[in-house]
Structures are given as structure tokens and as C-alpha cells.
Structure 1
Amino acid sequence: MYSMPRTRQDIKHERATSPIASVMPGTMEPPPPVAPSKRRRLDTQSTTQSITQSVAPSFVRSLAPSAESRPHKDDDGEPIFMEMKRGPDSFRSGRQGTPGSQTADTSFGQLQQSFAHPTFAGIGQKQKACNDTLGDLQTLGVSHVAALPELVLVGDQSSGKSSLMSGLARVNLPRSAGVCTRCPLHIRLISSKSDNWSCTVSLQRDYDFQPQPNRKPRTSDVTAANPFPPWVKMSHRNIETFKTIFDPSEIEGVLRWAQIAILNHTKNFELFIPDEGFIAKNNSLDVAASETEAQFSPNIVALEMKGPGLPDLSFYDLPGVFQSPEKEEDEYIVKVVKNLTREYIKRKKAIIMWALPMNVDLENSITLPIIREAKAADRTIGVMTKADQLPPQNIPNWLTKFRDEKKLIGHGFFATSRPPDQLLEDVAKWEELFFTHRADGSSPWPTEFDDFLDRCGVEVLLKYLSSKLGEAFAESLPSIKETVYRRLTVVQSELAALPELPVNVEHEVKRSLVQFLSQVKISMKDTRFSSEWNTLNSQFQACIFKIKPTCKVKDSELQTIDLSGGDSEATPTPSRRPRPSDSTMRNVATPSRRQRQDDPVTPTPTPIKREDFPPSSVSRASSIVSATESHSLGPFSRYASLGRLAMDIRDIRSRILRNKRPGMPRDLVPDEVRETLCLDAVKKWEEPLRTYVDKTEELLKRTINDALQESLGTLRRRLIFNECQEYLEEFIQSTVVDQTARLTDMFNNETYQLYMMNDDVFHRYKAEEMEQLKRVRGIIRLKALTLLDWGYTANRRLEDMSEEEKTKERKMLETQLPKIGKDPFDTEIEVAGFVRGYYMMAAARFVEGVTLNVNASLLRAFREEQLDMRFDEVFNIYSHSDPRQYARLMEEDEETAKKREQFKGETEKLERAMHSIIELEKVSGGTSFGYPNVTIVNSDSELEESLFV
């Protein structure tokens, strides 16, 4: 189709026209009627559901279909092309699209049809306000709450993105490779009535820098869970204003320094502010760029530009995708940049601007597979760059893309030409002339593309982008408002749940501490604590008596008797004569052992059992053994075998012979033998004593912490709670260390030398031990000489025997033992009885002393005033102190304070977002429906009160 050549006046008129004016209703006539056979019918049922199931209660969808709301089917026929008629205010004066032009979204002026509620019916006519509101929401960083429509510029490295971005922003932005390709940019353009131009550069940090020590990231570090190593996602966004400038010529340098600052995450960004920061003043850009902490960052450098004639638009520019880095060590950045591009492209509300240069084949694009993988082709706008470098042989290929015969992307293609050697003030005019026919009909732009001149030039692209972005935002606005409001109520509820500072801080601190100290005393005297500690004492006592040294009374290969505790065991050895089974030699109270027959010979006696005492004995031994029987060993169970096989009558004889001086009588035992055996026995108390102290400390800590929770539980988020815990831990640790030292002294006293003062108690214990040893030894001797039936057992507990059985056994031993003569090991048996008797006396003395000392020293410190005095020294409970100290104690702990600040920050962002949406409603002439009244806060300072009342 022939297009009339354009005049200079036409060009001037178009360039002076606001982008908004070009997309007002009526700029394009509706298409002619389509034959009934070609019409697509609307699903009335789905339309009805879209009304009744409105996303937001304040916005009811109209019957008019929104943009691209028709369901797509795989079997859809050929598209119906609309004939574009020339309107009085068309995009290009004297130019008209043809039926061959792309059909996707060509009616730029029908924006109002996409709004869902009458409240927003006028927003389509207020595109500037719409895009301004969207820019506000993007800057606030509320996309984590509600998905926002956004423009995202992507493409391969060296695809002409930088020139395109400069054209869209109408300002000179860095175009060379290097630092500009190492982090995303967010550019927001705001048209203002003022003649002044300004640009505020800020750093938007969503990720924290957490490198691994002493090594750079590797390709293997890049995973689905960790897409941007060494950067880790934070829970909230931090925004820092870098610098505001008023001269467009400064923007390139400021932008480069801002990106260097964002790549040095751990350093103060103010060091990199041009003409102000120390590093910026003393280093060149190239040097600073080569010394950054990170080679890449997913954090954003944001530019907000205000000035006359700027399009009301905001978009993201991502680093170009590439295949091979300059350095092998930067190979991981290839995957990271792809992940970043994928992250933005997969956002459902994102409109993708795909930059592809016309001087290379489209099939070589690295970005296209990422777009297809994210199923974002229908949301993509193809922007052909470097149209002035189009090789003639590639014209047919690009004509195919313009015609979109393969439906490659949803929004079709645009062509741009922005040579980097052109000045900013000249490049727009140059592009106009490039795509325009001269008076003689010639043009540097091939005539084959005449049918698509309505898709050529950055200015046309800007209008289309502004239209589509506003349309998408207006369509999403009801759900955005509801989502933001719901999140705001949740955050406000969380914020209200955090404790507030009490009115009278000093009184609250002192009252809480006095209550805690009182609760400690009550808990220490409580029956629950006393019962638990008494059980621990009994278990400790049972353990100490349990590990009394056992004695092997065997003196031949015929039989082994292991005398342990209160019981004896015999293990028969091979014999030519028949012998009873082992079951007759074991405790009758153990059925499982009675069932075993003819155990083979073993050099190790069978497990030990408790020793019994004559019921007539009135000594303390009976009560001690009874306690041992009645209490489990609990945490001391692992020490139950410490005393097993501690003595052997043959070993005792060897010790006596080694220590006896020449000429000494045979039955005279050197004192060293008795003392060594006694001290060896009591040295085994060290480990049980350590366990006893540890368990007492655990019980003490648990009781005190319960008192702390009960008294100060409501203040657990305050510093007073944490400091009380710290000082309690310190006090408990100090008192336990002192107590351990005292108990260690007691243990060292017992193991220093054999010592006794209460001879009566010792002789009573020794007599009981001798009685048992001689009884078992005598039975073994008689059975070995076949004077006693093999079925008779010596392991039977005396208290399990009837009086008749005891009398019978006693008479039997008195009758039979004289027949076999004196026991050759009677001296060794006496030594064993001496050691076991001394052990029992020392054990009773030790257990009594340990538990008494713990009660009178360690526990006393908490029952009386020692803890009170310590806390008074620290917190001045009973005296006056600086009020600032009490205020400090009632401050929140670090975690809660951080959470509170996060909630405050998010509340402020969401309140500002709601404020922007409500202001947009006002501009459109609507009112807010379905939500509480909102108090408008016209201030950029921190919002002290909630907007909702």
C-alpha cells in the first residue's frame, strides 16, 4: 500500500504530542463488520461466572471483554485481520496499516474496555495516573505481595539493548560492556509540567551477599535452590537513596558508580557517591569496577527520572544473556544471568520486551529458548534493533517475522534504529528520517517494509508499551488492591501482637524481678523439686553400694564362685563325676537362668547379684541394701559393673606374698595390701560423682528456668528476660563450680588413705561380709569334695529362705566343715571381708557427706539470699538507679526488634500502596467500595499511625 510522504510539519506535530494523547479513545476507528461465519462467539456462561466470581468485592467485572481475555484453543482457525482505517489523529500522519500488518493488539486506543469496574472506567483516559501508580507500587517493592504488571527488557549480549533503553528513557545511558551488564536496572519515567529535569538513583537490595570463605563461586554452586550464588534472598527489601542529579550529562557516571556500589555489598554505599565518597574521589571508574567484591548482583539499581516530555513508563533492563565469559573463573555467571532472566520472564504479569538485532539471525538467539521455556511467548514484544545494519539478503527473513506467519510471539515485532554514534538530541530525528520516504520516494529503510511502518521507531514503541502496561495494570488493579489490603491487615495484626513498652518502666522491671526471686524460693522448697532431688540421691546411693568390689572365691579348676554384692554364683568346670546342672547353682529368683543346663566352662564368672545379710542383723547394712534393691540406678546404670571381679582370693595371696617381709608369719597381712585394695575400691566413685553433680545441675537449671518462665514469660521478647537468663546461667555455673570443688575435696580425702573412726560400724560391716564369704566358700569346698549334693546352691538369698532352711544349712555347715579341715585361703577370705566391710562403711560416709554438702551449700544459695544479692548488684532491685537502665532492660531483643522493624517497614509500604491506589480511584472519579474508610496521609515521612481506622 502506498503511503504519502511526510512533511517536516507532520514530524514536529507528532513529536510534540504526548504519548497519552495518541492512545485516547477514538484515535482509531473500529474494524468493519465481520461476516457471521467469521465471528467468534463469547461463552455466555463463562462471562456470567466472571461477574459473579469477582476477585475483589469493590470491583464488579463489566460484560465487556478485557484485552486478550478470549480463551485460546489449539484448533483456532486462521486469524481475522482487521482493516485499519486512517483516523484524524492516527499514530503517523499520512500513514496507514494494511491488512498484512500484525493483528496482535493493534488498537492502542481502546484501553477503557479492559477495566473491570465502573470505579475504573475512567482510568483508561488517565493513563499517566495509571502508570504513575504502577511505578509507585514497583518502587515500593510490593511485588512479593501482589503480582504487578511490568515491562522487562531482555536480550542477548550486544543485542542493542543499551541503545534501545537510552531511546526509551530519552537520556544517554551507558552503552559499553562492563559494569552496566552486571546487575538489573529499574527505570521509571515520569512526565512533569516543570521545566526542570531530575533523576534520583537508588539501590534496591533484595539479596544478601554471603560468599564462601577463601574461594570464588563455581558453576556447581548454581542450583535451583540457589540460583544467584553467593547471593541469598532476604525477607524484605532495603532501599538506599544513592544520589539525585539535575543534569542529564551526569547520569552515565552516577549510574556506573551506583552499580559499583551495589557490587560491594558489605561496604557503605556512600563511599562510591561521585564527588562525595572517599573511594569515588580517589579511584577511577575502571579501577573501582575491577576491584568489586562481587562480579554480579541480582540487586537492582533504580532510576526515577522526572522531566517535561518524558513518557510515563517504567521498565526493568536485565543484563544481556551470553554464552562465554572473558575469564574461565566467571563461567558461573553465564548460568546466573540466565537464571536472572528466567526469574523475571516467568512472572505471569510481566510483558517481555525481547531485543534482537537485525544484523544477526534470530535463530541464534539465546534468550528465545528461555522465553519459550517460561511459556511467555504470548506476553512477548519483539523489538528489532539495529535496523540500519540489516543485510539485504536477510530482508525476506525479517519480513516473515513482521507478518508473524508462525505466531512466534504474542505482541508481534517492532523495528528501531538508534546508532550509538548519534547524539541524543539528534537520534530521534535521525530515526524518523530513517524510516520515512524522501520526496523522491527513496528511503534508507527497504520499501519491502512499507506495510509495517506503523511498527517502526522508538516513539511508536513507547506508545504501544505505555498502552499495554496501563491496560494490564487497570485489568489487574481490583485483585492488586484486595491482595495488598489483606496483607496489610495481616502485617498490622502481627505488629500489634508484639509487646509494647510499659508506662512505668522502673516499676515494671523491679516488680518482675522481685516476683522471679520469690518464685525461685518457692520452687526450691516445692515438693516436686524435693522429690526429684531425693530420687537422684537414692540412685546415687544405690550406685555407690552396687559397685562394692566382688570377689572370686575359686581356688581350683573344679568350680568358680563369684561373690558379688549379696549373692554368689558358681560356674562348674568339667568333671568326671556327674554333677547337677547350673540351675542349681544360681539364684532361684531368676527362672531364665534355672532353665539353662550344662553351661560350658568359661574363665569369666556369670553376672553378679546382690549379697544378702542375716535377717537378725540390726546394722545399717540391711537398710542400705534394701534401698539398693528398691531404687533404679537411673543415670548411674552404666556404672553397675564397676566393682565386678575387683578381687580374687588367689590375687590377694599373691599381693600378700609380694609385700611380706622375710620371717613374717603366714597369716600376717601387710597393711599396704589392705589399704591398697580398699583405696582401689573407693577410687571408682569418681565417675558416678561427676554424673551426680551434672544431674543435680540439670535439675537445678530446669527448676530455675521454669520459675523464670512463670515470672517473666510475658517479657521474653525484652532484654530483661535474656539478661536474667544470662546472669542466672552465670550464677548457677559459679555455684556449681564451687560445689564441685568441695565434693572433689571430699573424694580426694577418701582416696588419700585408709581412715576410720567408728570401729563398731566397721566391725559390724566386716562381720556381715565375713559371714557371707565363709558361707559361700564353705559350700564350694564341700561340693568340690562331694560332701554336698551338686544340686545345692550357694546363691540363694538368705531372706528368701525359711527359718527352717536356714537352721538346717547352718547345722550342715557346722557338721561338715570340721571334717575337711582348715580352709587354706582363710587369710585371703579375711582380707576380702575387711575390704568389703571398709568399703560399705566408707560408702555410707561418702554418700551422706556428698548429699549433705550439696543441700547445705549449693541449694542453700537459691533458697536463701545469695541469688537476691547477686541480682541486686546487677539490676539495683532494692535501690535507685539510672532510669535509662530500666528503659534499656525493657527494650526488645534483637530478633523481635528486627521483626518489628520489618513489620513497620512493610506496613508503611503497603499503606503507601493503598494510598496510591485510592488516589488513582479519585483521579478516575470513582470511590472506594467494600473496604474500611481510609485516612489519606499526604507525607513522605514515616507513617506513625495506621491508615485504616
Structure 2
Amino acid sequence: MAPKTVIKPEPHGDLQFDRGYATSSESTSEFTPTPVYPHLPVSSGETVLEDITMSGVNATDTDYAHGASSGGHVRHAISHTSDSTTTGTLQEPLAADEAMHALSQDSHLLIKKIQKLSTLGIDNTLSSLPKFVVVGDQSAGKSSIIEATCDIKLPRGPGTCTRCPFRITVTSSGSVNDDWTCIVSLQQKYSYVPGSRTSRYDNWSANQDIQLFQFGRIISDKSKLEDVLRRAQLAILNPGIDSQVFASPQFSIKGKESNQVEFSPNFITLEIRGFDLPELSFFDLPGVINVHKDANSQHLVEFVKELTREYLSDEKALILLAVAAEQDINNSTTFSLVMQCNALARCMGVLTKPDLLSNQQFETVREMLACEQFEIGGGWHLTKQLSQKELDSTVVITNKDARHREKSFFSQHPWSTELAKYQSRFGIINLQKTLSKELTEHIRRELPQISRRVQDRLEKVQKKLSEFAEKPQHASYRVMDEISTICQAVTRLIDGEDQSGQFSLEYRGLLKAARANFAAAAPQVVFVTPGYTKPSISIEEDDEDDEPIQTPKSRKGNAGQQMRTPQASIVTPTRPRKVPQSSKSTFKPSQTIFRLNEVNEALDQGSNSMLPGAINPKIRDAFIKKSVQGWNEITCHLMEGIETLMLSMLNSVIEQVLSSYSKTMLFTLMNKHVQKLAETLIADQKEKVAHLVKCEQHRPITYADIGPERELKREELRKKRLFERVNEYCETMEAKGAIKVPKFAERKSKMEEIGARIPPDEYTLALHALEIVPVYYNRAAASLIDTIAKLLEFGLRNALKTTMAETLRQELRVMDEDYCIQLLAEHPEREAERSRLLAEKDKLEIALDELKSLQKS
């Protein structure tokens, strides 16, 4: 121990210990003999205070008020007595009943009620509740004190130090026949979020609601508690793993060598109940450390200190400080933290390991007992626990045996001689009595203020709730009615039964436009003789029956190109928000252009016959497949238009039906789910339409009799080619200066006559090969547009009508009245605020009922 040092506690708030025990005559000169703490046991002497038991809520604030007077020093009752005179004696272990049951039944209720209040999650109102917090440096004997006080075994051994707070509640069962039981639970106030800086602990985020759940089964065998606590601490230190994994007997603790975190602000709760137990409730914090063995983990030193500061700074917390008697208290990190947090007046000290004291250290301890050194509000106690050798022994030493040994130790010199006047502060049993009384009195003093805080907050919450509009009645039915109205409106529009009929008109317009696009994309043959250049002679074209021939130069972008490929013509579809009018559409489908020389080359390259004029059927199929390659862009354009039209119609219906709910969640979610359903159905139809197009592009197939159509097309192609050749012949002759050249108007009527004078056409075979292409194209295009219309009618329009109502009922949870109330609320944020206030109101009413039940008891 250090040389004599006097440290006097400054009172912090109105909570502090007021000691009424006697001190030696040498320590009386600087204190005023004012009795302020009548309920603690005292020594005999001239100003001995009577040992008064608890007197209910009346013995509260006035007793403690003296402790804050006269410059703020904790006041003492001074007794002039010899060292050999005392009325406070070391408690006999066999008389433990008096210590264990010193509190009345209502004291038990006080502790249990406070514990229940702490689990309600109303931290904004009751951010601090009366409690005892046990702190100390690592290896100060803190765990031994808790074990002896609660008659339990905590995990011991290398690497098993306390790494999270423990909240321990000890309750007497009142009957010797009752079994000892312990319920272990995990309380999660924080979530582990690496990198988070939202709370006072790095990497931890505070939860909005405290989560409490039982860990494993109820324990009735004391010998199993140590193993369960090891497992519970592993669960706390591994927040990313389901806690029940560690509770399972199949889980091996030995196999768990590392944890996700080394310390945690979440805590383990122990609810211990049994005969011969005191009425206690306290928090046990991890031992404070100054340095970590791992150089990369030094931040954990500050983590534990910050955790300790949080509890020490709680003005409603009484502190039990464990210090090894042989330690220089000037070097106690925890004692330094107690001073930093202005908690000396709320602190009670326990000196451990008194058997290791030297003579000089003994003198320091005597002065601490006499409040001459390291003065704290609750004074100093001493306990003698089992040595490490006794703990490691194979001989089982019960708590009762340990108390006998402790009694024997303090019955010896100098404890029973020089320090006999302090024997009421020696031993675990006396410590239990003091802790129980102090906590109970502390709770009683705080009850009026706690009740006021709860009542005040409840009134504020009720006032805020009164500002909200009344909840809609039968919200579920109202939501179902709106769903029905929307579905009926959509059905009328799809079936064309609405008054305007605009939707049906636009829908049919899209299909007709697609049919027109297929026609516009029909394959075209360039009848001009390859290599022919028209002379620069003006030709009057006034024959209304003439069909203008579109040359490659007359089509923008086609000059000099080979036959169009689908890759070169596909246009990426886009979906405008408004449906474009078909008459104003700028979409132009691509065409396949057949040039006679290219067709001849393809026929020559693909011919596998030795006979002249033979046409390979595969070449004809290739020409047909080439002509339908542009159908992808036509059908994509159609489906994009259908999607835009459908979504626009649905959005319009919702806006009209739910116009009065435009600011509600119902409007937003109704729109969302309807649009999602429509988009899903449309996506399915897009896939099916794309599949149909692929089938057409795979191979031309038809079982229809197209012979007559082929004959007509063959003759049509022959005449167009002949007319072109006649024109070329006449233009050439005219350019050479021939006089009797038929004018353009005469050429058609004399086409056959003039054609007889022209050499045979080298492209006749090409025309024969192409005759089937437009015939098949027209048949397939007409069939495809009809099939698409049928697909959309059944797979989209009918599916939307038949599935929308049930989909909306499920998505909008029409059977959940509370959820429907939120849907109908005008402002979702305010409704969420109302829900939070209602939940808080329920908790506050529970808390108030609990507090009122205490006042009646």
C-alpha cells in the first residue's frame, strides 16, 4: 500500500453513501459529529447510533441530505470508543438466515420490479435505474466476491476472464424445499457493425429495442452453471452466429479458439433463485486492464475503460469497487476511473486478499477503514476468499465451508483485536446484508422520482397522440373495396365497355400498325438489269397504272449494299411514357432487297444439280428466311407499345379511383403492385412472341395450298421484269437517236410485242426462285399477327383481369387491420410516429402499473 493519502469524495448529484459506523478517536478532529446514516451497524461509544432497520419510503431523502452539506464532504457519526469495544460482530455462518433474509418480501418485489422496468425498452424515459455495479482491475478478486455472494461458480482458467457485463439477480425462494434454479439470458442492446461509429463503442450500433432471449434451459444443477456461462459468453462474443449453436450440448467449447470480438457491450443476465440466498441485483463488469497482450489489440484497453465509464457515470448506480488489499491503490486504474466519473460518494469498497498484507500495508488498510485514506462514500469492507491453492484443490470446498474459513480468519489477531470495531464490515455475509439494504433503500428513494418520470412522459405521449386524426374504421374492408373498384374499372376498359372506348381503340390501333409494318417490310425485288445506267433523258411518267420501281439509290442507305441482314437492321426498342399515335409513328421497318445478279450468284453457288435451270430448295428456303429476319424489330416495337399502353391505362385508373388517397401508402403500393403484375405478364408475353418469331425464322413451313398464288406471283414478276427491260431497251434506242421509239405511255400496251424483239433474259431463273418468297412472307405475316393477338388476349388481357384482385389482396395484406390502417393514413411518416407512440404508451402504462403495485404493497 502507498503512504498515507487522504482523498475525499465530492458528492455527485443527490446520490451518495452516508456512513454511520464508528471511527477511531484519532480521526475525529476534522469531522463534525452529525449522525446521517442510521441504518448501518455501528460500534458502541458515546455517540453510537442505534441500528435501525428500514422504515419504508419515509426514511429516504432526508437521511441522505446531510451527506451533501459542509463543503460537500461525506459526514460521519463520530464515536469515542476504545478499540476493544464493539457491538458489531462478524456474522456466524450458521446464522446466515438473518443475513440472507434481512429484507422483507416487498424488498424482493422492489428488485424484481426494477429489473422488469429495465427490460421494457423505455430508455428515453428511464435511461437510468437504481443498480449496483461491481468494478475492479483485472485479478482484483472481483469474481471471487461475486461467487461467494451469490454461491455460484463463474468460469475460471486461462482466457476465461469476464469479457462482457453480467447482470446478476439473486432471490430467496423462502422455502427450504424449493430447488435452486438459474435462468441465463442474453440481452442485446447493441448490434455488431464493423466500421460503425454511431454509438459510444466503435463497431457497435445501438438497437432501437433491447432484445432479450433465454439461453438454453433452466439450470437446476449448480455444477453445470460454469459451463453454461462459458457458452453464453461465447455467444455474446460471436454475434454473427446463432446463439443456440453455443447452447447445444453438441457444441465443443474446446474447438472454439477464436471469437469475432474480444469484448462486448451486450450482457448476460443470471436470475438465480433458491433458499438461503440474499436479495441482490447488480452488474458485474469486465476487469479493467492497462495493456493488452496483443500489440494489435490495444484499442480493447480503451473499450473496457469506456464500458466501465458508461456504468460509473450513471448517477443512479451504486458502485462496488474491488481492490486487492496488498495493491497500491494509487495504481488502481478502476479507482482512478471512479474519481474521474465523480462517483466516489456512490462508491463502496471491498478489499480482497487480506492474508497477503505486510505490516506496512496493514496500517494503510486500518487507515482506510478509519476513513483516513482513500475515503469513499460507502466505506471499505474486507472479505477473505479461497486461495488459488484451495481453488485448484481436488477437495470440493462448499460456500458454507468457505464462510467458516473466512470467519476463522477474521476471528484472529489483528482483525478481532485491533480492528474489532470494524468487524461488522468483515466477511461476505456482512457485505451481503449491506448490499441488500443499500440497494433496497436506494430503490425506495428513487421510486417517487421514477414514477414522476414515467407519469410525465406518459402525459406527453398521450398529448401527442391526441393530435392525430382518428384511425379509420374497418380499414380492411375499405382497402378491399378500393381493390374491387380498380379491378372492375380495368375489366371494363379491357372489354371495351367504358364510355370513351379510347383504350380499345388504341389497343387495336397498335395491332393494325404492326400488320402494316409487316406489309411494309415485305421483300422487294429490284427489276433493273444489274449494270444498267439510265441515260439522261427526261421521261414523262403520267400513267396512273405504272408502279414506280424503287431502285437501291431511291432508298436511303441501301445504295451499293448486299442483301440486308437482321444484325444490320434491328432497332433497340425503347418505351416512351405516353402512347404514340400510330399515324404519327416514326418507326420504319427494314426490308430485304433482292438484286437479280446476287440471286443468280446465290443460285450458282448453291446448285448441286448437273441439269440446267434446276433450283436447290435450300436456296429458296434461305431467301424466305432472309425475308423474315426483320420481324424481331417489328414485334419488339409492337410489344413496347402494348406495354406502354397497358401501364399508362393502369396508372390512369389508379389515379382516378384513388384520387382522394394520393398522399397515402395505399396509392403508392397499389400502383407499385399493379404495375409489377402487368410488367410480369407482359414480360411473359414478350418471351412467347419472341419464340414465335424464332420459329418462323428457323425454317419456312406451310401446309396450305399456295400453288395458285405462286402462279399469280410468277406472272406478276415476269411482267414487271419485262416492262423494266422494255424501258431499258427503248431508252437505249432513244439515246442512240432512233426515230420510231415508243413513248413511255405506249410501252405497257406494246410490252409483249417489244419484248419479243429483245434477247432472252438471263435472270429468268432468279425470278422463278423468288416467286415463292413474297407468297410465303404474306401468308406467314398474316398468321403471325393473328397468333400474337390471341396470345395477348389470353395471356395478358384476360390474365390481368383474372389475377389482379387476388394479387392485390395478398400484397396489400387486407386481413391485417393495423397494416390497412397504415395504408389509409394520409402521411406514412406520421402514422409510423403514431405507431411508435402507441407502443411507447403501452410500455409506459405497464411501467406505471408496476410502480403503483409497489406503492400499494
Instruction: Please report the TM-score for the alignment, with normalisation by the length of structure 1.
Output: 0.51
One-letter identity of the residue aligned with 2:224: G
The percent identity for this pair of structures is: 15
1:101 is aligned to none
Task: Give CA deviations for 1:31-70 in whole Å, capped at 9, x if unaligned.
Answer: 8996xxxxxxxxxxxxxxxxxxxxxxxxxxxxxxxxxxxx
Quote the Cα distance in structure 2 between the aligned partners of 1:602 and 1:270.
71
- Kindly provide the amino acid, as one letter, of the partner of residue 912 in structure 1: I
Is residue 2:134 matched to residue 1:153?
Answer: yes
Which residue of structure 2 aligns with residue 314 of structure 1? 281
**Is residue 524 from structure 1 mapped to residue 494 from structure 2 by the alignment?**
yes
Cα distance, 1:913 vs structure 2: 1.2
Q: Kindly tell me: are residues 355 and 673 of structure 1, through their superposed partners in 2, closer, same or farther at Cα, counting changes over 3 Å?
A: same
Distance in structure 2 (CA, Å) of the matches to 1:198 and 1:490: 48
Q: Are the aligned partners of 2:231 and 2:253 in contact in 1 as well (CA < 8 Å)?
A: no
Partner of residue 601, structure 2: 654
Give a deviation string over 1:756-782, Cα, whole Å, max 9, x none. Answer: 5784998599889979x979x99xx99
Matched to 2:144, the amino acid is S
1:913 aligns with 2:847: yes
Post-superposition Cα deviations, 1:702-753, rounded to whole Å, max 9, x if no partner, equal 9899999989x99x99xxx9xx99xx99996999699769946973797336
Task: Say which of 137, 154, 157 aligns to 2:117.
Answer: 137
SS of residue in 1 equivalent to 2:556:
strand
Q: Does the CA contact (< 8 Å) of 1:187 and 1:316 recur in 2?
A: yes
Would you say 1:420 and 2:370 are equivalent positions?
no
The correspondence of residues 119-134 of structure 1 with structure 2, limited to 5 A, is 133-134=113-114
Alignment-mate amino acid for residue 282 of structure 2: F
- Looking at structure 2, the residues matched to 536 and 498 of structure 1 have their Cα atoms a distance apart, in angstroms, of 44
Question: Aligned to 2:169, what secondary structure does the other structure show?
Answer: strand
State how far apart, in whole Å, the 2-side matches of 1:323 and 1:691 are: 73
Q: CA deviation at 1:829?
A: 9.6
Secondary structure of the corresponding residue to residue 442 of structure 1? coil
- Quote the Cα distance in structure 2 between the aligned partners of 1:223 and 1:136: 30
Q: 1:301 aligns to what SS in structure 2?
A: strand
Structure 1 residues 466-505: aligned runs within 5 Å: 471=445, 474-483=448-457
Of 622, 631, 636, 1:676 maps to 622
Q: Relative to 1, partners in 2 of residues 1:828 and 1:160: Cα closer, same or farther, differing over 3 Å?
A: farther
What corresponds to 2:696 in structure 1?
Answer: 747
How far is the alpha carbon of 1:316 from its aligned partner? Answer: 1.9
AA of the residue aligned to 1:682: V
What is the aligned partner in structure 2 of residue 257 from structure 1? 228
CA distance in 2, matches of 1:321, 1:33: 33
Q: What is the Cα deviation at residue 314 of structure 1?
A: 2.8
The aligned counterpart of 2:787 is 850
SS at match of 1:915: helix
Residues 18 and 703 (structure 1), Cα distance of their counterparts in 2 relative to 1, 3 Å cut? farther
Q: CA deviation at 1:317?
A: 1.9
CA distance in 1, matches of 2:348, 2:425: 17
Q: What aligned pairs does 1:177-576 form with structure 2 within 5 A after superposition?
A: 177=157, 181=162, 184-189=165-170, 201-207=182-188, 221=194, 223-224=196-197, 235=209, 237-240=211-214, 250-251=221-222, 253-254=224-225, 256-257=227-228, 260=231, 298=266, 300-303=268-271, 305=273, 310-311=278-279, 313-320=280-287, 353=320, 355-360=322-327, 381=347, 383=349, 385-386=351-352, 388=354, 389=356, 414=380, 416-420=382-386, 424=399, 427=403, 430=406, 442-443=418-419, 471=445, 474-483=448-457, 521-526=491-496, 527=501, 530=504, 533-534=507-508, 536-537=510-511, 540-541=514-515, 544=518, 568-569=555-556
The CA deviation at 1:225 is 6.4
Counterpart of 2:76 (choices 76, 84, 89) is 84
Match of 1:2 among 21, 24, 31: 24
Q: How many angstroms apart in 2 are the aligned matches of 1:744 and 1:314?
A: 78
Aligned-partner Cα distance in 2 for 1:532–1:398: 98
Determine the C-alpha separation between the residues in 2 that align with 1:556 and 1:441.
Answer: 134
C-alpha displacement of 1:137: 0.7
Q: Distance in 2 between matches of 1:382 and 1:529?
A: 83
Q: Answer whether contact 2:563 2:593 (CA < 8 A) is retained.
A: no
For the 8 Å contact 1:207–1:299, the answer to whether it is kept is: yes
What SS does the corresponding residue of 1:569 show, helix, strand or coil? coil
- Deviation for aligned residue 1:461: 6.0
Pair 1:911–1:855, CA change in 2 (3 A):
same
- 1:186 is displaced (CA, Å) by 1.9
Which moved further from structure 2: 523-532 or 227-236?
A: 227-236
Cα distance, 1:303 vs structure 2: 1.3
Taking structure 1 as reference, are residues 230 and 686 closer, same or farther at Cα in structure 2, changes over 3 Å only? farther
CA gap of 1:853–1:183, structure 2 versus 1, over 3 A, is: same
**Distance 1:457-1:537 versus aligned 2 partners, 3 A rule:** same
CA contact (8 A) 2:168 2:282 kept: yes
Q: Given that residues 20 and 463 in structure 1 are in contact (C-alpha distance below 8 angstroms), is that contact kept between their aligned partners in structure 2?
A: no
Partner secondary structure for residue 752 of structure 1: coil
Runs of 5+ unmatched residues, structure 2:
1-22, 28-39, 89-105, 388-396, 535-548, 571-579, 738-742, 749-753, 822-831
Q: One-letter code of the match for 1:917?
A: L
1:913 partner SS: helix
Work out the CA distance in 2 between the residues paired with 1:379 and 1:769. 117
Query: Superposition RMSD on alpha carbons, in Å?
Result: 7.9
CA displacement at 1:201 relative to structure 2: 3.5
Does the 8 Å contact 1:542/1:627 carry over to 2?
no
- Using the size of structure 2 for normalisation, the TM-score is 0.55
Please state whether the residue corresponding to 1:181 is helix, strand or coil.
Answer: coil
Using the alignment, how far apart are the partners of 1:530 and 1:386 within structure 2?
A: 91
For the residues of structure 2 that align with 1:766 and 1:376, how far apart are their CA atoms?
108
Q: Is 1:630 matched up with 2:584?
A: yes
Displacement of 1:357 in angstroms is 3.6
Q: Is the 8 A contact 1:544 1:685 kept in 2?
A: yes
Tell me the CA shift for residue 655 of structure 1.
0.9
Q: 1:400 to 1:307 in 2, by over 3 A?
A: same
Contact kept? 2:425, 2:431, Cα under 8 Å: no
Alpha-carbon contact 2:142-2:322 (below 8 Å) kept: yes
Distance 1:765 1:457 in 2: 119
State the SS of the aligned residue for 1:314.
strand
Q: Report the 3-state secondary structure (helix = DSSP H, G, I; strand = E; otherwise coil) of the residue aligned with 1:751.
A: coil
